[in-house]
Amino acid sequence: MSDDVEGIEVRLLLEAIHARYGYDLRDYAAPSMRRRVLATLATSGLPHLGELQHRVLHDRERFTELLEQLTVRVSDLFRDPPSFRAFRARVVPLLRTYPFLKLWHAGCAGGEEAYASAILMTEEGLYERCQLYATDLSQEALRHAKEGVYPASALPAFEKNHRASGATTDLSGFVTAAYDHISMRESLRKNILFFHHDLVSDHVFGEMHVVFCKNVLIYFGRDLRDRVLQKLAQSLCPGGFLCLGSAERLTGATPTERAFTPFSADERIYRYEP
Ligand SMILES: C[S@@+](CC[C@H](N)C(=O)[O-])C[C@H]1O[C@@H](n2cnc3c(N)ncnc32)[C@H](O)[C@@H]1O
């Protein structure tokens, strides 16, 4: 028995989404999921969560809108520059020893992170031997990522991050500026495959040399986080690298975590050494 009626309604909504559309948000971190569901309700004009559930069950478009509101899409080009700087200085020299490289950006949001590694690998002379995979749960995020178009107002911050990541060239060589927006150049896009992938319910693909899964695990509850981490481990080749977000740390608390050793711990770069 529980008096937390709102909590019950949120769980029922997530069950309904799973049963109807197959998206499984049930094991995401409960407090932040609840906050986002309630924020969505507040702006929906609907009287209660029961009504929101009814609309979502009967109207796919309503569900798509809700999914967009429940997933957090914030990103940036070279977000968290020290992690890219460490990647460039410490991981790239080891990647040079491979004739062909597979990099996966899991939870790529609007594509900024994938374009950042495409830029970095170009600067390091490795882009031509790279295949990048950039995936996300959100179709809207993927649409944006494929376009690679960002507001011109973002350019100064992009440039600052790029420089702080240890850039060896100027960002202007990678973007085309129009009056109110900037576009990523086609040369960056050519080795990136963008596609839909759900870390919770889809299978993983293997033999990655690097997996970037930054600021995604943080939205998952503990068990789900470990399940997804197992998938990321399965997708890496032995000796491959896992790059996490600045607030995501592996502590060796589970057997899955113990398969990773800190490589550049302050920057959340781990090496898969099963
Ligand atoms: C905060 S963004 C992080 C973007 C980028 N990695 C970064 O660090 O800037 C989180 C992304 O994870 C995606 N996401 C959430 N759940 C997911 C899942 N089950 N499978 C794949 N992507 C997911 C969201 O759609 C969102 O685009």
Number of the ligand 1 atom closest to the C-alpha atom of 76: 9
Number of the ligand 1 atom closest to the C-alpha atom of 212: 6
Q: Determine the distance separating the centroid of ligand 1 and the alpha carbon of 137, expressed in angstroms.
A: 7
Q: How far is CA 153 from CA 143, 157, 267, in A?
A: 20, 8, 28
- When divided into structural domains, the chain yields a total of 2
Using the 3D structure, point to which of 48, 70, 92 is the last residue of a domain.
Answer: 70
pLDDT cut 90: percent of the chain above it: 96
Q: Determine the distance separating the centroid of ligand 1 and the alpha carbon of 72, expressed in angstroms.
A: 7
Beta-carbon count within 10 A of 102 CB: 21
> Does the beta carbon of 71 lie inside 6 Å of ligand 1?
yes
Contact of 63 with 14, CB cutoff 8 Å: no
Could you tell me if 152 and 85 lie in one domain? yes
Residue 75 forms part of a structural domain: no
260-264/269-272 β-pairing = antiparallel
Could you tell me if 53 and 117 lie in one domain? no
Could you tell me if 226 and 187 lie in one domain? yes
> Does the beta carbon of 80 lie inside 6 Å of ligand 1?
no
Q: What span, in angstroms and rounded, lies between the C-alpha atoms of 143 and 120?
A: 23
pTM: 0.96
Residue 243 forms part of a structural domain: yes
> Does the beta carbon of 198 lie inside 6 Å of ligand 1?
yes
Using the 3D structure, point to which of 19, 48, 70 is the last residue of a domain.
Answer: 70
> Does the beta carbon of 175 lie inside 6 Å of ligand 1?
no
Could you tell me if 101 and 231 lie in one domain? yes
Model confidence at 262: pLDDT above 80: yes
pLDDT in tens, 142-175: 999 999 999 999 999 999 999 999 999 999 999 9
> Does the beta carbon of 46 lie inside 6 Å of ligand 1?
no
Model confidence at 1: pLDDT above 90: no
> Does the beta carbon of 29 lie inside 6 Å of ligand 1?
no
Could you tell me if 196 and 132 lie in one domain? yes
Using the 3D structure, point to which of 70, 105, 120 is the last residue of a domain.
Answer: 70
Q: How far is CA 9 from CA 21, 37, 82, 120, in A?
A: 18, 10, 41, 45
Q: What is the CATH number of the domain that holds 172?
A: 3.40.50.150
Give the residue numbers spanning the domain of 112: 81-272
pLDDT in tens, 3-32: 899 999 999 999 999 999 999 999 999 999
Give the per-residue pLDDT at 23.
96
Mutation test residue for ligand 1: of 64, 165, 204, 216, the one with most atoms within 8 Å of CB: 216
pLDDT in tens, 170-229: 999 999 998 899 999 999 999 999 999 999 999 988 899 999 999 999 999 999 999 999
> Does the beta carbon of 216 lie inside 6 Å of ligand 1?
yes
Residue 134 forms part of a structural domain: yes
Q: Determine the distance separating the centroid of ligand 1 and the alpha carbon of 109, expressed in angstroms.
A: 5
Q: How far is CA 54 from CA 12, 13, 203, 264, in A?
A: 11, 9, 30, 48
Could you tell me if 104 and 194 lie in one domain? yes
Residue 76 forms part of a structural domain: no
Could you tell me if 47 and 157 lie in one domain? no
> Does the beta carbon of 200 lie inside 6 Å of ligand 1?
yes
Could you tell me if 42 and 104 lie in one domain? no
Residue 105 forms part of a structural domain: yes
Contacts of 108 (CB under 8 A, 6+ apart): 75, 114, 134, 135, 136, 141, 142, 145, 194
Could you tell me if 176 and 98 lie in one domain? yes
pLDDT in tens, 29-85: 999 999 999 999 999 999 999 999 999 999 999 999 999 999 999 999 999 999 999
Could you tell me if 85 and 176 lie in one domain? yes
Residue range 97-118: mean pLDDT, rounded: 98
Residue 257 forms part of a structural domain: yes
Give the per-residue pLDDT at 2.
80
> Does the beta carbon of 266 lie inside 6 Å of ligand 1?
no
Residue 133 forms part of a structural domain: yes
Could you tell me if 235 and 150 lie in one domain? yes
> Does the beta carbon of 72 lie inside 6 Å of ligand 1?
yes
Report angle CA 66, 69, 72 to the nearest 5 degrees.
140
Which residue's alpha carbon is at the smallest distance from atom 16 of ligand 1?
137
Could you tell me if 158 and 202 lie in one domain? yes
